[in-house]
Structure 1
């Protein structure tokens, strides 16, 4: 678990990667929010804001596909 603060571009820096936080129905953005990056044994990562999972990433920092579209669908609905 690694604490980070979200940048002005709604991303988090972690091990030379920029993790983009997708849109969700709870907040327009997470700029300046404190979040946690969890790193898993398979190299995957997840971003948490408190107990809420914001996004999951593969070992290269690419947003997992189900996460990339889910946030936008929730906002529209």
Structure 2
């Protein structure tokens, strides 16, 4: 799942990642997305990650059935 500017860059609020690996870390998922969508790098590097609607750090492993979300920083007033 991608939110705000990330979904705009990808052209969709969600992206499916296919891999041969049993699991990936959040940082590996982030790297795959940056490789696929280079323009997303500045936002993605500063985004919070969540797995199954719980905030997660970059080392957390995710598997096929997990939902991963990236939430970029927002500002407002």
Structure number with higher relative contact order (C-alpha < 8 Å, ≥ 6 residues apart) = 2
Task: Give the TM-score taking structure 2 as reference length.
Answer: 0.30
Structure with the bigger percentage of helix:
2
TM-score by length of 1: 0.30
